[in-house]
Structure 1
Amino acid sequence: MNAQASKPDSSASGQATRTLDALIIGAGVAGLYQLHQLRGQGLSVGAYDAAGGVGGTWYWNRYPGAKFDSESYIYQYLFSEKLYKGWQWSERFPGQPEIERWMNYVADELDLKKDIQFDTRIDSAHYDEQRQRWGVVTDTGELIDTQFLVTCCGMLSAPLTDMFPGQKEFKGEIFHTSRWPREPVDLAGKRVGVVGIGATGIQVIQTVADQVDQLKVFVRTPQYVLPMKNPSYGPQEVAKYQGRLAELRKTLPNTFAGFEYDFEDAWADLTPEQRLARLEDTHADGSLKLWLASFAEMFFDAAISEEVSEFVREKMRKRLVDPALCEMLIPSDYGFGTHRVPLETNYLEVYLRDNVEAIPVKDNPIERVVPEGIQTADGTIHELDVIILATGFDAGTGALTRIDIRGRDNRSLKEEWGKDIRTTMGLQIHGYPNLFTTAVPLAPSAALCNMATCLQQQTEWISNCIHYLRDKAHRVIEPLAETEEQWVQHHDETANATLISKTDSWYMGSNIPGKPRRMLSYCGGVGAYKTKCDEVASREYEGFSMQ
């Protein structure tokens, strides 16, 4: 069935208009590979996505300057040598248009689009205990009956768009970075305001500063930043990284964060001079290496954290020069690495331009949007033609809580996660049989991972689990309550030992009022997580109920 060509008619009688073995929500990095794997088992599989094409995050995030901050040659599927070597990246950290083309290359090479229904949002998914199947309803009223439900929605796919009173009254244009239009947006000669200076906001700011007449950046939480080195790739560079495929297959799933580099030496084993040399070397790499492969102790020891943080601050001071800008844009109340660390290209230098103004809003917050622009609490109105909201996401949980998911006894996932965010290894949830999840809380893929590495690992675990069930003539699998409790306790013990858990950020859900406080990502390391998942499978899913 070519699902993208036409949508089945909805059924007024409540009878299913389509029956599947497995339904996948999402057609991004996880969804495409999950579809390929389950279809390869001979299952009847359909994927649904609200977007008009494949790509997931790389379909929606087409804002100016959007690009990888994982090296292109590791943000790839590793299961097929032919697929890996059939694509050539143009640079170390390519931009969104090239990434979207790559996603379409994958979908076309694997002939996946015939089983994906685009422009279709999943509204609800209810588990029928008697039939042991899920009833899934789309925004068009289509009802799909499926045995397995696999969510591949992405961990940053529920944007915070309606942020301030008065947005609808603004006379200019408002754009959220994760819903940027496909058609070009002309910012030339305009007064532009950017709200948010996380990783996304930084990419936008450094890209548009020389295009606009005036740029006003509303600064609340300053960020530690690392300079990006982004060399172009020609035939020699491509041949070099493609020749490392076997090495990458072995290395990536077993490092701390799913990158090619990892922590090597302990802080205590090096002299002060050697430590500084390591910091300089990893900083000069022009990647996330300083964060993810310098010293793991920075995440646990406040004194070491301060020393590494001061190293990064000094690098930023030398570029910003202006003491007032340093005060506003360099963090001092949290440690390096306890927030998401952005890569940037001449971002700090943007604030030295005559047409750019940094407006502090931590103590004088944005109060509302007025027809003329943005009004802060002191009554000042900043007149603007365009407002760009780089205001983030309801990370990890938002993609699923925006769907009415109900498991056994009509329990609501939105209500349960509104009280306590729990999963079993980020792969299943007690009370929701045959629901498999990727990029949700309590797994590295919720934040601390090269996403391609972690999503491949999770989808392969799910595919193997479903194969095991079918091979053993089981129809249903669900984690026991005590299994989930053990994982939550292990997760919390691991998280609470870090400084990340003591810092307010979206990693802790702090950007969402009322969101239960728990570190979203498992921080025990990608390799350790993989080992634990493999152990569960090797013990024939001990701790899971099967029927």
Structure 2
Amino acid sequence: MSNDQRVHTHIVGVEDEPVRELDVVVVGAGFGGVYALHRLRKLGFTVQVFEAGSDIGGTWFHNRYPGARCDIESLDYSYSFDDELQQDWHWTERYASQPELLRYIHHVAERFDLRRDIRCDARVVSATFDDDTSRWLVRTEDGEAVSARFCVLATGVLSVAQVPAIDGLEDFEGDWYHTGDWPHEGVDVTGKRVAVIGTGSSGTQLIPIVAEQAEHLTVFQRTPNFCMPAQNHAMIEEVERQWKAEYPERRAFARLSGFGHNQLSNPKKAMEVSAEERLAEFELRWQLGGLYMMRAFSDILSDPAANEECAEFVRGKIREIVQDPEVAEKLTPRGFHFGTKRLCSGTGYYETYNWDNVTLVDVRTAPIERTTPTGLATADARYDVDVIVFATGFDAMTGSMLKIDITGAGGHSLREKWAHGPRSYLGVAPAGFPNLFIVAGPGSPSVFSNMVNSIEQHVEWITTLIEQVTLRGLSRAEATEEAEQQWIEHVNEVAEQTLYPRSPNSWFFGANTPGKPRVFMPYVGGVGTYRQKADDVAAKDYEGFVLS
């Protein structure tokens, strides 16, 4: 709501350096940052978005590996804030691919003239709150400094790629890549020997395509995951037309649903129906594809018996598809509950292991010990390869924020505050960090939801709070320690009602990151429940916040 964002001033700790004053700084230009910019600008605020990458798009800018696509239907995984936008845009597939999703967010940025307030190749390295002025000083890696009343972190929950510390990688004479930082020009593996390390969401999408191109593919698997068939296909014209006609109802339903989308959920409990009905429901979900199996029965994620029935159905599908019984057994997930690790969705994943040019290596029984100049060495064999692909995931949910040196009131750092796990009120506002807000972070539905739905909800809630603080002539909005603690207790109580705490070896707990505290990070109470709780906080004059 400032008239001019080109005002210059001097900030404590910045000697003789002109600093631009703004209303809001947004860090990150993925779906969250782009919508935050649009929303804040419409409310009359001056905004600068800093993006570390060389272009906008976030997840869909960096994850360009072959086969990368969304696991939520395109018609759901899209912005709802502008009806003309959702009516005009045509999706070409049931599940949008990475290139199409990137084209979509580029279209949105251009349609609403957003690029003029986005600076790419601008990695934020620090954000420091000034108690005297109630402003944030935000610095980029190349030395730019801006002062803003509010700072919004839209840095993404899966954006800090992790390459495992394998001895000898620097001596490898071939090429190596991470799926989360794929070269924009692509990688040609035609006729090459390729190793893929990791069989999570990225690996299961990538592996079938690499197998088609490579002379030989060796997959190094530590933990087999449940992978559903995507059942992807070209967009059906009648389906798209019907969705667009029903968008008001469908969007409203998604906002109040458990997972933030329109996937069909069965309200019945698994063990209350006959074995025949259970089998039929599981088969229906398998044919529907994608993540529909998670909604086969209402107690899949809470009742161990129901969960095991579902898991055994999928194990049976693996045994049916994979011809070699020994390979099928290696690919069969055991030791954790179905859905408590990120459920994968792919095309032809299990079928790939029937090909003569594909080898599966179980690194639980023979761990990778080192990289050699010509490949990889496990405890019992050597594998010569030309290319290594790390599909080894991310420092999830907190990694992107903790890479920034964030200092709040009284000189306290976010890294210190989160040393034993992330803490914030509603997953939005960490106590002790006034005017700092997080989009789709830990403590909110985030990765347990349709991310675009949750992003819109967070952005609208945060920007309304910023507007209210401004209209009242106030300068600060800060969550209280008490409200934060009560929210964390609620997040944990809800999680304890599910099977997630019984399967803690997942990135939901930070288990894939060495040294990271084992804390369950997402909110599993449901998108609709979370939205109601957040709206109640706002309706009670932002209960749990001190506005001053």
TM-score w.r.t. the length of structure 2 is 0.95
Aligned residue for 2:543?
542
* Aligned pairs (5 A) from 1:430-441: 430-441=431-442
Aligned residue for 2:366?
364
Identity of aligned residues (%): 39
* Aligned pairs (5 A) from 1:324-335: 324-335=326-337
* Aligned pairs (5 A) from 1:298-337: 298-337=300-339
- Aligned with 1:278 (options 281, 290, 314): 281
Letter in structure 1 aligned against 2:37: L
* Counterpart-to-counterpart distance in 2, 1:443 and 1:493: 14
Aligned residue for 1:475?
475
CA deviations over 1:343-369 (Å, ceiling 9, x no partner): 111111111111110011012211221
CA deviations over 1:139-164 (Å, ceiling 9, x no partner): 00111101100000111011103532
Structure 2 gap segments, 5+ residues each: 6-12
Aligned residue for 2:127?
125
Q: C-alpha displacement at 1:268, in angstroms? A: 4.9
Q: C-alpha displacement at 1:441, in angstroms? A: 0.8
Structure 1 gap segments, 5+ residues each: 4-10
Q: C-alpha displacement at 1:406, in angstroms? A: 0.9
* Counterpart-to-counterpart distance in 1, 2:14 and 2:500: 50
TM-score w.r.t. the length of structure 1 is 0.95
* Counterpart-to-counterpart distance in 2, 1:156 and 1:319: 31
SS in 2 for 1:419: coil
SS in 2 for 1:351: helix
CA deviations over 1:360-415 (Å, ceiling 9, x no partner): 1012211221211111133x321110000001011000000111011112111122
CA deviations over 1:216-241 (Å, ceiling 9, x no partner): 00011001111111121254443222
Letter in structure 1 aligned against 2:518: R
Change (3 A) 1:479 1:324: same
Aligned residue for 1:94?
96
Aligned residue for 1:7?
none
CA deviations over 1:81-125 (Å, ceiling 9, x no partner): 111112100010121111110110011111100100001100010
Letter in structure 1 aligned against 2:382: I
Letter in structure 1 aligned against 2:375: G
* Counterpart-to-counterpart distance in 2, 1:125 and 1:476: 16
Aligned residue for 1:61?
63
**RMSD of equivalent CA atoms:** 1.7
* Counterpart-to-counterpart distance in 1, 2:356 and 2:270: 43
Aligned residue for 2:222?
220
Letter in structure 1 aligned against 2:453: T
Q: C-alpha displacement at 1:189, in angstroms? A: 0.6
* Counterpart-to-counterpart distance in 2, 1:191 and 1:236: 44
Letter in structure 1 aligned against 2:131: E
- Kept in 1: contact 2:65–2:186 (CA 8 A): no
Q: C-alpha displacement at 1:522, in angstroms? A: 0.3
Aligned residue for 2:9?
none
Aligned residue for 1:520?
521
The answer on 1:246 being equivalent to 2:248 is yes
Aligned residue for 2:158?
156
* Counterpart-to-counterpart distance in 1, 2:274 and 2:514: 44
* Number of equivalent positions: 537
* Aligned pairs (5 A) from 1:20-419: 20-161=22-163, 163-233=165-235, 235-261=237-263, 262-291=265-294, 293-378=295-380, 380-419=381-420
Aligned residue for 1:8?
none
* Counterpart-to-counterpart distance in 2, 1:172 and 1:148: 46
Change (3 A) 1:22 1:12: closer
- Kept in 2: contact 1:23–1:46 (CA 8 A): yes
User: Which is worse superposed, 235-244 or 456-465?
Assistant: 235-244
CA deviations over 1:430-473 (Å, ceiling 9, x no partner): 0110000012211111x201111111111111011111111222
CA deviations over 1:254-295 (Å, ceiling 9, x no partner): 11111202342233543333222222222211221111x212
* Counterpart-to-counterpart distance in 2, 1:123 and 1:524: 33
Change (3 A) 1:84 1:91: same
User: Which is worse superposed, 367-376 or 44-53?
Assistant: 367-376
Change (3 A) 1:221 1:429: same
* Counterpart-to-counterpart distance in 2, 1:319 and 1:19: 60
Aligned residue for 1:6?
none
- Kept in 1: contact 2:204–2:227 (CA 8 A): no
SS in 1 for 2:460: helix
Q: C-alpha displacement at 1:311, in angstroms? A: 1.0
SS in 1 for 2:419: helix
Q: C-alpha displacement at 1:61, in angstroms? A: 0.4
* Counterpart-to-counterpart distance in 2, 1:328 and 1:134: 52
Letter in structure 1 aligned against 2:420: K
- Kept in 1: contact 2:435–2:476 (CA 8 A): yes
The answer on 1:488 being equivalent to 2:491 is no
